[in-house]
Amino acid sequence: MSANLYRFKYDEYGNTREIIVYGSGSSVRSCSYVNKGTAFNLEERKMLGLEATLPPGIKNLESQVESSRIKVKEKVDDIEKFIFIRSMFDRNVTLAHALIQSDIEKYIKIIYTPTIGLAVQRYSSMFRQANGLHFYPGNIDRAEDILRRFAHRDIRVAVVTDNQGVLGIGDQGAGGIAVCLGKLMLYSQGAGIAPWHCLPISLDVGTNNEQLLADNQYLGWRHKRLSGEEYLSFIGRFARAFRNVFPNALCQWEDFSPQNAFSIRDAFVDELISFNDDIQGTGAVALAAILSAIKIKGEKLADQRFLIHGAGSGGVGIGEQLCNALIGEGLSEKQALDRIFMIDSKGFINNKRELELYKKRFAKDKKTFPWTGDIDKIDIPGLIRKAGITVLIGTTGQDFFFKREAIDAIKENTSRPLILPLFHHISTPEIFCQNIRKWSEEGIMIATGNPCPTLDAMEESYQVSQCNNALVFPGVGLGVLASGAREVLPDFFTAAAYAIAEMMTPEELAKGRLMPSIGKIRQVGKKVALAVAMSSVKAGVSRPCVYSDFQHDDDEARMKKLIDRIRWKPEYLPLVAM
């Protein structure tokens, strides 16, 4: 259903109140925002020319959800379930989101991690219907005109990828847009941003994945990746077009290689309302788990020493966030950085090495730490002892890091160690899970990265929490939109982390749980949104409140009301025929 066949009518807070429909008959059911399937009532069927095109029986949304749950259960595996839910989304957005909301803990594993990894890899062979935008060298010069076609949807959030650093599986070419689709579904679930205000975008600059280039079914731009000035020019042209068409929309950068992720985030921070979830969202969710852990320990953040294995987007993002939080608690930048140690695939990060720019901040010098030149790459226990490490964080899955010897070493420094294995788990070795069970029983606090079947089983039995970015980015997005923030500040992610940690009850902390369950994504999104919005107000980057009925409230009360009123729920909207 093309844009001239429907129009959204908003209330004064920007929430969709009804949909005005200019078409009739089959065109009405071709638009996933308008289509209600068997839930069209008799009046709507007459008004929209749908009489006799549907069976006479009418179902309400709850009944449709129940039928859909049965159909999902009948699918043979998770990828078939993914295809079913995505197809439903393409037909009936409201029903798809109502289904997901009915059991978010179950369905998030289908629409996002871990199933999304398979969907990315099979994107071309599974392709059924176009979603979002694919910019490539053949159309990037027309980016502004192409984006304007979506102006009628009042785009508020775009998730944008160049497909190079996908979910720990690397360069996946055009398939990376599937991650954008999944993340935007979580914006709708966690933040209540209506699906029509969301836009997934692939910046297809080619791929260096030889398997894709040789695949006859591959749908992406079949060339080697652009690099250097050509690449930067392409990204710059997109950023200018997006800013010109959607100056108030949030742009989330997703799945870029580490080098590009940091340079793009920093290059456009003043031009776009933007952030990088792989860097900043990962940093915030890790900090939230750490804040919960120090509550359990009865210690301060400054009392801890951190060792991070992995100096890519996630690892450096965690380092940045820890540094920001430590400075917020009164330390100087040098004092904060002296508490954060990092290793990568080449070994300990010190200032004797040639380092990428984004790693240099965390390099240690021999003058301050005389022992740093003597540490072997895989001598993790030795490093833990010399640096006094109390928190062990891994963003890569190399098995020399989380070993019994490392755990024994960290127990010499603290009675309650914290370990965060945050690498992507598509399938986790059983021996690693056995170790986690054993360490949990020993009183070691643990939170893992994204789910897999073996780790899911431990969440209930051993209170092993999941550090899922879905607990961060939806609320950050909603807080930015609600406050009208003109830029996304690092402090927003610190505020988000503290807000998440504050949600943990004394009973949960006593059991060793560090993070809310993903089933609370909507409550967490609201709490994070308020914290981010108030951080924006405090920093002076938000717009003044213009709603007359809020004027007698203080800033926080106004923001609470606004957040409540702008959140979309998956409920059928009234339709008005024109």
Give me the percent of the chain exceeding a pLDDT of 90. 79
Higher-scoring residue by pLDDT: 1, 380: 380
The two beta strands, 340-344 and 465-466, are unpaired
Residues 294, 244 within the same domain: no
Whether pLDDT at 551 is above 90: no
What pLDDT, on a 0 to 100 scale, did the predictor assign at position 436? 80
Whether pLDDT at 168 is above 70: yes
421-436 tens-digit pLDDT: 987 654 455 666 777 8
Residue 555 in any domain: the answer is no
487: left (phi over 0), alpha (psi -120 to 50) or beta: beta
Higher-scoring residue by pLDDT: 445, 548: 445
Q: How far apart, in whole angstroms, are the C-alpha atoms of residue 14 and residue 236?
A: 30
Mean pLDDT across the stretch 478-491?
Answer: 96
Query: How far, in Å, are 136, 144, 181 from residue 133 at the CA level?
Result: 10, 12, 11
* CATH number of the domain that residue 225 is part of: 3.40.50.10380
What pLDDT, on a 0 to 100 scale, did the predictor assign at position 240? 98
pTM for this one?
A: 0.94
Query: Which is it for the CA torsion 158, 163, 165, 169, positive or negative?
Result: positive
Higher-scoring residue by pLDDT: 332, 461: 332
199, 226, 256 — which closes off a domain?
A: 256
What pLDDT, on a 0 to 100 scale, did the predictor assign at position 440? 83
Residues 301, 228 within the same domain: no
Residues 421, 357 within the same domain: yes
Higher-scoring residue by pLDDT: 215, 368: 215
- Count Cβ atoms below 10 Å from residue 532 Cβ, excluding itself: 31
Give me the percent of the chain exceeding a pLDDT of 70. 92
Whether pLDDT at 444 is above 80: yes
394-417 tens-digit pLDDT: 998 766 688 889 999 999 999 999
Residues 250, 284 within the same domain: no
Residue 133 in any domain: the answer is yes
Whether pLDDT at 546 is above 60: no
What pLDDT, on a 0 to 100 scale, did the predictor assign at position 373? 64
Which residues does the annotation mark as catalytic?
112, 183
Mean pLDDT across the stretch 270-288?
Answer: 97
Residues 369, 515 within the same domain: yes
Residues 437, 524 within the same domain: yes
Contacts of 315 (CB under 8 A, 6+ apart): 308, 309, 342, 344, 393, 395, 396
21-44 tens-digit pLDDT: 998 888 898 899 999 999 999 999
Whether pLDDT at 46 is above 50: yes
Q: How far apart, in whole angstroms, are the C-alpha atoms of residue 490 and residue 112?
A: 26
Mean pLDDT across the stretch 348-377?
Answer: 85
DSSP β-bridge partners for residue 309: 343, 394
Contacts of 327 (CB under 8 A, 6+ apart): 333, 336
Residues 283, 154 within the same domain: no
DSSP β-bridge partners for residue 232: none
495: left (phi over 0), alpha (psi -120 to 50) or beta: alpha
Residues 243, 311 within the same domain: no
Residues 226, 302 within the same domain: no
pLDDT band at 547 (very low <50, low <70, confident <90, very high): low
Q: Are 287 and 280 in contact (CB under 8 A)?
A: no
What pLDDT, on a 0 to 100 scale, did the predictor assign at position 457? 61
Mean pLDDT across the stretch 503-513?
Answer: 94
Token pair for 65? 């959800």
Higher-scoring residue by pLDDT: 403, 286: 286
Residue 505 in any domain: the answer is yes
102-146 tens-digit pLDDT: 999 999 999 998 899 999 999 999 998 888 999 999 999 999 999
pLDDT band at 1 (very low <50, low <70, confident <90, very high): very low
Residues 246, 388 within the same domain: no
Residue 341 in any domain: the answer is yes
Residue-number span of the structural domain to which 199 is assigned: 60-256
Residue 287 in any domain: the answer is yes
Contacts of 451 (CB under 8 A, 6+ apart): 109, 113, 114, 425, 466, 468
What pLDDT, on a 0 to 100 scale, did the predictor assign at position 219? 97
* CATH number of the domain that residue 394 is part of: 3.40.50.720
Residue with tokens 């986790």: 428
Residue 384 in any domain: the answer is yes
Whether pLDDT at 149 is above 60: yes
What is the rounded average pLDDT for all residues in the chain? 92
Residues 406, 321 within the same domain: yes
Q: Are 61 and 69 in contact (CB under 8 A)?
A: no
Residue 328 in any domain: the answer is yes
Contacts of 237 (CB under 8 A, 6+ apart): 140, 141, 143
What pLDDT, on a 0 to 100 scale, did the predictor assign at position 480? 97
Single out the residue of 572, 547, 543, 567 nearest to residue 557, CA to CA. 547
Please state the domain count of the chain. Answer: 2
353-364 tens-digit pLDDT: 899 999 999 999
Residues 333, 236 within the same domain: no
Single out the residue of 425, 411, 416, 515 nearest to residue 463, CA to CA. 515
Residue 14 in any domain: the answer is no
Which range, 140-144, 439-443, 509-513, has the best average confidence (pLDDT)? 140-144
Query: How far, in Å, are 147, 172, 317, 478, 576 from residue 175 at the CA level?
Result: 20, 6, 25, 27, 37
